Amino acid sequence: MKFAIVNKPSSSVSELVAKIRTEAKKRGFIEDQNEPEVVFSIGGDGTLLRAVRFGKPIVAFKAGRRSFLADVEPDKVEDCLDRLKNSEYLIEDYSMLNVNGYDFFNDFAIMANNGKTITINISSGEIEVEFEGDGVVISTQQGSTGWSLSALGPYLGRGVDATVITLLNPILAPVRSYVVNNYPIVARVKPIFHTGQARTFVDGNIIGTVDEDTEILINRSNKRAKILRFYNERRKLTWTK
């Protein structure tokens, strides 16, 4: 089996990266960063986002402070690789969303520019919301543990096939977050109390700006992410340093 490595860009994980590479090759795995069959993500959830871009099954080794989706502890490297070689794992399948040609695993956001508020209209099925605030985050099920949650959005458990829409610092809005499963989700920045452009982000990376009254469509992506699970353990959300 051919593997690629995506690791946290930190010297703190170099020893673990070397160990995984060595132990994998001992078991007959071949490193191939261009055409892998499986990707070893070594870090936290940010590293896993980079691994998703390969479009291949992921083994998520935990080596970061925020590792809700990464579940293989450093002391289980050898056991995990043995299980991988013997196909002793479950596959967790994750839905992704697409916004104007960009696939995203966690979230898409529209943010006000230059510290000003913006007015955003969002519709999904029979629900339409219009509010003034700092922006909006639209999250997948797995993305609900990230930016959306920090803005007081709900956590969606595994198996909940839905999308979270979380308003960022809304003014006079009776709700901060709600859950939908109708697509497309249509977002539009309104020319009210706002001039210029708003910034747009996919999985934490800025992808550009959007002009007033430009229609943004969020749909289900044809792509799905697959994470290989070797241990049936409870995952823990933590908010400590």
CA distances from 240 to 65, 74, 177, 236 (A): 9, 20, 24, 12
List phi, psi (to 5°) of 177: -155, 150
Active site residue 93: no
Question: Is-contact 123 216, C-beta < 8 A?
Answer: no
Q: Out of 45, 71, 103, 134, which one is annotated catalytic?
A: 45
**Spatial separation of the C-alpha atoms in residues 14 and 8, rounded to whole Å:** 9
Beta bridge partners of 166: 137, 177
**Spatial separation of the C-alpha atoms in residues 131 and 39, rounded to whole Å:** 41
DSSP for residue 33: S
Q: How far is CA 30 from the centre of its chain?
A: 28
CA distances from 47 to 51, 66, 144, 195 (A): 6, 10, 17, 36
Question: Is-contact 136 110, C-beta < 8 A?
Answer: yes
Catalytic amino acids? 45
